[in-house]
Structure 1
Amino acid sequence: MNLYLIGDSTMAAYDKNLYPRAGWGQLLKQYFNEQITIINAAKSGASTKSFITDGNFDQVASLLAEGDYLMIQFGHNDQKEDKARHTEPFGSFKANLKFFITIAKQKGAKPVLITPVARRKFTEQGKIIDTHHVYAEAVRELAMNESIPLIDLTKASMTLYQSYGVEESKLLFLWLKPNEYINYPEGSQDDTHFSHQGAKQIAHIVVKELKQLALPLNAYLKQAPVEIKPVSFSVKPPTIPNQDYRLIDFGGKGDGRTDNTEAFKRAIETCHRNGGGRIIVESGVWMTGPIQLKSRIELHVKRDATICFIPDYEKYPLIASSFEGAETFRCIAPIDGECLEDIAITGAGIIDGSGQYWRPVKKWKMTEQMWSALEAGGGVLDPDKQIWWPTERGFRGAKKFNYGLPDSELDKSGYQPYHEYFRPNLVSLRRCKRVKISGVTLQNSPAWNIHPWICEHVMIENLFVRNPWYAQNGDGLDIESCRFVTVKHCRFDVGDDAICIKSGKRHRSPSIASEHILIEQCHVFQGHGGFVIGSEMSGDVRYVQIKDCIFSGTDKGVRIKTMPGRGGIVEYIWINNIQMQRIKTEAISIRMDYTHEKETDVGDDPALPLLRDIYLESIRIHGAEHAVVIKGLPEKQITDISLNHICFVSDRGIECRNSHFIYFNRIEADIKEANVFELEQTNQIKFDAVSQVMTE
C-alpha cells in the first residue's frame, strides 16, 4: 500500500545539503513499518491552484490505486497575492481541495485533509497568532461536509509554538546564526520553514492525530513509539535588591505570644517603598496573621526561627482567590501574593500554618484515643458522627455546599456565613512571575501547602513539606496552570498528594496549560500519590519531566488521573529513574476512570480527555499491590505509553485496558500471581524482553 503526500513546503522533502531545513513529510517514514511506501509529492511554493496547473496533481493521480491513502495539506501559498497561486478560501481553495478528494475517491484511494501548519508569529504579549484562520476554517468545513478524516494541524502547531514560547520556538524553525551551517553562511531568520527538530515535532503530531482517528492506516504504524526527547528550558530567578530589613526593627517579637501582624506589614511596606529587599525573621517563634507579599521582596526565615499563624479566623478575610482551578472567594492565605514579580521565601526556618484549627478530620483516620481527644476539645460532629469540624461555620459550609464549591454565583456576603469552610492554602501565589521558595520547612497547612496558580518562572528547592498523614486536602505542592517550573531536592511527608500538577476544571477554569516543568531528586515519604497529574487537567499538561526521585510508603507512586467531563490533554511526560518502596496500591497508575461522588453527571457533552506520549524508564518497585495499571475508556483509548526497564516486586503485575500503541521493553516481574499481563480491549501492544519470577 502507498501513502501519498501532496502539499506545500512545510510538508515537502529536502536535499541533505539544505540541512537542517526539513518538511514534516520527509520525517513521517520513521513512524511506519516496511509494509507501506510513502511518496512525498509536496512542492515548495505550491498552492492548490499551482499544484494543479503545473501538472503535479496529474502525476500523483496517475499513480493512485485502490486502498492507497492521500494526505492533503495546502493553505500557505493560497494566501499569496500572485495570480499563479492565490485562491479564495471558501471559493477556489475549497473547490480545489474537493477536486483532489473526488479524484482520490474515483481511484479507490482514501483522502485525509490536513489544515495548514501555522507560521511562527506572536503578538507583543507573547500570544501566538492564527496566521491561517479562514483557510483552516475552510478545510475544517470541507472535511465535515464530505465526511473526510481531518487532522487540525493549524490548531496543534499553534499549541506547540505557544508551549515553547517566543524565543524557544525559534528552535523549531530555520533561525540560524551566520556560519552555523556551511550552507547558510549568512544565517537565517525564517518563521515558515522548519528545522529538523521542528519537522520531527510536527510529524509526531500528525501521527498522534492519526491514532485518534483510528484509521485502518494505523495498522502500518510501528508498535514501538518514536520518542520525542524532553525540551530544555530555563527558569529566570527573581531579582531581589541587596538590602535587609529586620522584623525586630519594626516592633516584632519572637516570644511566641506577641501578634506580629502589624510588624510584618510595616516591614513589607517599608521594604517595598524603598525598591525591595529581604525581610529577616530571626531566631524565635513569631506569631502572626496573614503575610501579604509584594514585588521584589524576599521573606527570609533564619534557622531556629518559626513563623506560626494565629488561629483567629477574623484575621483571614474572604478574598477573590481560586479553588481547584475555579476563581472563587476563599480565606486569604497565611502567605499570600497576587500579580507580583520577583518574590522569594527562603531560609532554614519553619513556617507553620496552624492547620489543626481549620481542617476537618475523618474518624476512620484516627485511633480511638485521638478521636476522643478531638471530641473532648470542642468542635462539631456531622450527623453520622464520622467527621469532626473545628467550627460550626465550617461544618455548615460543608453541609451547604456538599464539600464542593457553591453551585450559584454568590457575592462575598453569601460566603460569609460559612467562612471557615473556605480554608486557605498555606502559600497561595496567583499570577506571579519569577518566584523562588527555598530551604524552609512548610508544615501543618489548613489545606494545600504550596499552590502557585498561573505563575511563570518558579523555582522550588531544598524544602521540607510536612502535614499530618490524616490532613484533609493536605497536599504538598500543587502546580496549577504554570509554565517554566523546577522542583529540586525537596522532601514531602503529607496527608494527600505530594507533588501534583493541575490545570483546572473544564468550564470553571481558565484554559491555561501546565507545561515545561522539571522535578528531580525529591523524596516522598508519605502521601496519596508521590507524583500526580490531575484530576484537574482540563487546560492540558505537557512537557513534564520527573527523574531521580524516591517514593517510600505512598498510597500510589506515579499517578495520572482524569475522567469524562474534564477534556484536556496530558502529553509529553517523561518519568525516569524512580525508586518506589512499600506502595500500598498501584505503583504506576494511568487512568481515565477516576470518579468523584460530586461529579457523576457530565451532561450531553462528556468532553473526553486525552492521555498520550508518556515515557517511563528505569523504574524499580520494591513492594506494591499492583505494579502497573493503564485504563482508558471504551470511547477514548490511551495511546503511546512506553515502559522501558521496569523492575517490580508486587502482588499483581500489569493491567492494561482500552489502550493501544503500548510498548513494554525489559520488564522484570517478581509477582505472586501467575500472569504478568492482564490485557483487555488493547491492540498494537509490543513486548520485548519480559522475564518473570514467581513468588511463593
Structure 2
Amino acid sequence: MNIKKNICIALLLGAYGFSASAQQKEYSWTNLPKIAQPVFKKDTVNILKYGAKPDGMTLNTKSINAAISACSAKGGGVVLIPQGLWLTGPIVLKSNVNLHVSRAALLQFTNDKSQYPLVEGNYEGHPSPRNQSPISGTNLVNIGITGDGIIDGAGGVWRAIGKERLSEAEWKMLVASGGKVSENGKTWYPSDSYLKGMNEKEAIYLKPGKSLKDYEDMKDFFRPNMVVLTNCKKVLLQNVTVQNSPAWCLHPLLCEDLTLRNVRVRNPWNAQNGDAIDIESCRNVLLEGNTFDAGDDGICIKSGRDEEGRKRGKPTENVIARNNVVYRAHGGFVIGSEMSGGARNIFVTDCTFIGTDIGLRFKTTRGRGGVVEKIYVKNISMKDIIGSAILFDMYYGGKSVLDGEGNKVANTKTYTADITTPQFKDFYVSNVVCDGAASGLLIRGLPELAIKGIHLENIVLKTTKGADISEASNVTLKNVYLECTDTKPVVTIENSSDIKLDGLKYTNNADVLFSVTGDRSKNISVINTDTSKAKEKVTFKAGADSKAITIK
C-alpha cells in the first residue's frame, strides 16, 4: 500500500469532517485474490549467439525467434536482448521463456508492414483479420517480458490521424512522408489499402466463408495490437517500457494468473485506439506500480462484445489494480464498453489519474448484456479531469431517452429488459479526491433496468458541475463533498429511487441544492446535511412528486 498517499487522503478527508471509522471500512479488501507467479530457469540465451546484430538496419526477426525457440526446447530460461538498437519483425513467445530487454536496449519493430502477415485475430470479441502482432503468444505457460529496456511498435506508420491533432509543422512532415490525405484535407491515412478497408462495410470482421486472402487488398487497415497474449497461464510483464503501439498496446485475452508490475506504457495522446492495457476475459490479475500514458483508455477491463461475448461467457474476474498512475488517457480505470461476458471481483486502490478525459469510467450500452458487479475502489487521487470524475454510463455511444429536463424525447422507442440488457450493480467507491473536472458524478442507467447498488463514501470532488443521478436505485452518497461552480443544481436526481444522501457537503450559497425530476423518482432520503446554505433546497420537474424526497 502507498502509505504516504493514504495519509494525504486521510488528512484531506479529515479536513472536511469525515470520520476515520468511515475511511477504514474494508468491504471485501481483507480477502483479495491470489495470483500465481511464473518461475523461470536461470539459463540465459543471448540473441547474439543466433546472429542478431544491433546496428539498427539488420532485421533480427529470425535470430530472436530462433533464440526463443531454442530456449523453450531446452526447458526454458531467459532470452537476453542486450544493449543496442535491435530492428525486428514479429516475435512469437514460447512457454517457460522470459524475454529480458536490458536497460540500454531498444527493441524496435520495423515500419515495413510487409513483415507482418495477416492472421486470424480478435477485435472487440469478434473474429477478425489482423496484421500479426509485434509480440504474441498463444496457449503458453510460464512466460515473461522483463527488463528495463524499451520496446517500440512503430505505430505511427499504421495509424490514421486528424489534422487538428497535430501542429502545422507535424502535419506538413506527415503529409510529406507519403500516405493519403482525405478530400477535405482534414485527415491523413497511411495508404490506399487502409482507405479501402475503412470504406468497406464491416471489413473489420472475418466473415464466414471468407479467407484471409480476401482481405489482402485492405491489409493496412487491420492494425495489430502490440502485445497479444491469448489463453496463457502464469504471465509476468515487469519493468519494461512499451511504447508507440499501432492499436491497443497490451492485450491479454483469456489469460490466467497475469502480473503486470512496474511497467510503463507510452503512447502519443493522439494515438488512434492507443489503449494502454485491455484485459479481456482474464482471471487472477495483478497490476501494480505501473505508469500509463495513453491515446485511449488507460487501464481497461473487457470481456467481449454483444452476442459473441455472451457466447464466450468468460468474465474478467479477480483483478487487483494498485499503485498505478495514468496520464491523459480517455479513462483512468475503465470497465467496458465490451463487457458482454461480465466483470466481477475487481479491486482498485491507491491510483492516481492526471489529465484523463474521465477518471473512473464504467461504460456500456444496450445490446451488450453482461453483468458488472462487485467492484471495489478506494484511495484514488485525480487532478485536471476533462469530463466526469466518476462515471457510470449505460448509453455509451448513444443518447439518453431524456432531454435534460427529465422529459422523454418524442418518438422514443420503449425497451424491455432481456439478455441483451447490460447490468451494473454493487459498486463500492471510497476515499476519492478530485481537484478539477467538468462534473463530479454521473450515473446514467436505462429505464428498463436501473443501475443498482452504487455506494460512494468519503469523496471530495472539486468540479464545475456536481452530481447527476438518472435511472438508478439503491444509491448511497455518504460524506460526499461537492464543491462545484455551477450550482443550478448541485445534485440532480432523475427517475431514480431509494437514494440516500448522508452527510452531503456542498458549495456555500448554492443556487439549488437538489433537482428532483421525473414521475418515477421516489424514496430519496437526505440526512445529516445542512440544507440552509442553499438559496433553494429542492425543485421539482417533469412530474416529480414533492413527496419523493425527505430531508431530516
- TM-score tier by shorter-chain length is 0.7 to 0.9
2:16 corresponding residue in structure 1: none
Counterpart CA distance in 1 for 2:270 and 2:46 is 36
Unaligned runs of 5+ in 1: 1-224
Counterpart CA distance in 1 for 2:276 and 2:493 is 34
Q: Is the 8 A contact 1:474 1:495 kept in 2?
A: yes
Change (3 A) 1:525 1:265: same
Counterpart CA distance in 2 for 1:520 and 1:356 is 31
Counterpart CA distance in 2 for 1:620 and 1:472 is 30
Q: Is the 8 A contact 1:564 1:607 kept in 2?
A: yes
Q: Tell me the secondary structure at the aligned position of residue 578 of structure 1.
A: strand
2:318 corresponding residue in structure 1: 516
Counterpart CA distance in 2 for 1:593 and 1:401 is 24
Q: Is the 8 A contact 2:204 2:222 kept in 1?
A: no
How far did 1:404 drift? 4.5
1:92 corresponding residue in structure 2: none
Q: Is the 8 A contact 1:671 1:694 kept in 2?
A: no
Counterpart CA distance in 2 for 1:443 and 1:336 is 16
Instruction: Say whether 1:259 aligns with 2:30.
Output: no
How far did 1:440 drift? 0.4
Change (3 A) 1:404 1:314: closer
Instruction: Say whether 1:468 aligns with 2:268.
Output: yes
1:558 corresponding residue in structure 2: 360
2:438 corresponding residue in structure 1: 625
1:541 corresponding residue in structure 2: 343
Counterpart CA distance in 1 for 2:449 and 2:88 is 50
1:687 corresponding residue in structure 2: 501
Larger mean CA deviation between 359-368 and 551-560 belongs to 359-368
Instruction: Say whether 1:325 aligns with 2:125.
Output: yes
Q: Is the 8 A contact 1:658 1:682 kept in 2?
A: yes
Deviations 1:311-352 (A, max 9, x none): 121211111221111122211100010011100000000000
How far did 1:383 drift? 3.5
Q: Is the 8 A contact 1:382 1:395 kept in 2?
A: no
How far did 1:371 drift? 1.9
1:280 corresponding residue in structure 2: 80
Q: Tell me the secondary structure at the aligned position of residue 458 of structure 2.
A: strand
2:163 corresponding residue in structure 1: 363
Structure 2 counterpart of 1:609, from 422, 433, 444 = 422
Counterpart CA distance in 1 for 2:46 and 2:419 is 55
Change (3 A) 1:403 1:558: farther
How far did 1:603 drift? 12
Counterpart CA distance in 1 for 2:357 and 2:238 is 27
Q: Is the 8 A contact 1:230 1:543 kept in 2?
A: no
How far did 1:639 drift? 0.4
How far did 1:382 drift? 3.0
Q: Is the 8 A contact 1:231 1:543 kept in 2?
A: no
Q: Which amino acid aligns with 1:260?
A: N
Q: Which amino acid aligns with 1:317?
A: P
Q: Is the 8 A contact 2:122 2:129 kept in 1?
A: yes
Counterpart CA distance in 1 for 2:172 and 2:208 is 37
Q: Is the 8 A contact 1:289 1:316 kept in 2?
A: yes
Change (3 A) 1:514 1:263: same
Deviations 1:404-432 (A, max 9, x none): 53566521111211111111111000010
2:382 corresponding residue in structure 1: 580
Counterpart CA distance in 2 for 1:363 and 1:408 is 37
Q: Which amino acid aligns with 2:356?
A: T
Change (3 A) 1:320 1:408: closer
1:57 corresponding residue in structure 2: none
How far did 1:568 drift? 0.2
Structure 2 counterpart of 1:247, from 42, 47, 52 = 47
Deviations 1:137-169 (A, max 9, x none): xxxxxxxxxxxxxxxxxxxxxxxxxxxxxxxxx
Q: Is the 8 A contact 2:417 2:448 kept in 1?
A: no
Q: Is the 8 A contact 2:129 2:204 kept in 1?
A: no
Change (3 A) 1:539 1:336: same
Q: Is the 8 A contact 1:360 1:389 kept in 2?
A: yes
Q: Which amino acid aligns with 1:282?
A: P
Counterpart CA distance in 2 for 1:539 and 1:289 is 33
Deviations 1:334-382 (A, max 9, x none): 0010011100000000000000111111223222332222222210123
Change (3 A) 1:464 1:292: same
Q: Which amino acid aligns with 2:355?
A: G
1:89-100 maps to which residues of 2 (within 5 A)?
A: none
Change (3 A) 1:671 1:352: same
Counterpart CA distance in 1 for 2:294 and 2:32 is 30
1:583-662 maps to which residues of 2 (within 5 A)?
A: 583-595=385-397, 607-662=420-475
Counterpart CA distance in 2 for 1:316 and 1:226 is 48
Counterpart CA distance in 2 for 1:299 and 1:376 is 37
Q: Tell me the secondary structure at the aligned position of residue 624 of structure 1.
A: coil
Identity of aligned residues (%): 37
How far did 1:612 drift? 0.3
Counterpart CA distance in 1 for 2:398 and 2:499 is 31
How far did 1:604 drift? 11
Structure 1 counterpart of 2:484, from 649, 655, 671 = 671
How far did 1:695 drift? 9.0
Counterpart CA distance in 1 for 2:31 and 2:230 is 25
Q: Which amino acid aligns with 2:198?
A: A
Q: Is the 8 A contact 2:304 2:338 kept in 1?
A: yes
Structure 1 counterpart of 2:332, from 501, 515, 530 = 530
Counterpart CA distance in 1 for 2:364 and 2:96 is 38
Counterpart CA distance in 1 for 2:86 and 2:63 is 10
1:327-342 maps to which residues of 2 (within 5 A)?
A: 327-342=127-142
Change (3 A) 1:226 1:633: farther
Q: Compute the TM-score of the two structures, normalised by the length of structure 1.
A: 0.65
How far did 1:591 drift? 0.7
Change (3 A) 1:605 1:627: same
Deviations 1:586-623 (A, max 9, x none): 110001011169xx9x9997711000000100000100
Deviations 1:94-140 (A, max 9, x none): xxxxxxxxxxxxxxxxxxxxxxxxxxxxxxxxxxxxxxxxxxxxxxx
The structure with the largest helix share of the pair is 1
Structure 2 counterpart of 1:497, from 297, 310, 313 = 297
Change (3 A) 1:229 1:351: closer
Larger mean CA deviation between 576-585 and 383-392 belongs to 383-392
Give the CA RMSD over aligned residues.
Answer: 2.2
Structure 2 counterpart of 1:389, from 181, 185, 189 = 189
Change (3 A) 1:381 1:596: farther
1:82 corresponding residue in structure 2: none
Q: Tell me the secondary structure at the aligned position of residue 245 of structure 2.
A: coil
Q: Is the 8 A contact 1:327 1:508 kept in 2?
A: no
Change (3 A) 1:227 1:437: closer
Q: Which amino acid aligns with 2:344?
A: R
Q: Tell me the secondary structure at the aligned position of residue 111 of structure 2.
A: coil
Q: Which amino acid aligns with 1:689?
A: G
Q: Tell me the secondary structure at the aligned position of residue 375 of structure 1.
A: helix
Change (3 A) 1:276 1:678: same
Counterpart CA distance in 2 for 1:695 and 1:305 is 59
Counterpart CA distance in 1 for 2:140 and 2:398 is 34
Counterpart CA distance in 2 for 1:606 and 1:569 is 10
Q: Is the 8 A contact 1:648 1:668 kept in 2?
A: yes
Q: Which amino acid aligns with 2:444?
A: K
Larger radius of gyration: 1
Larger mean CA deviation between 298-307 and 384-393 belongs to 384-393
Q: Which amino acid aligns with 2:42?
A: N
What is the aligned residue count?
A: 470
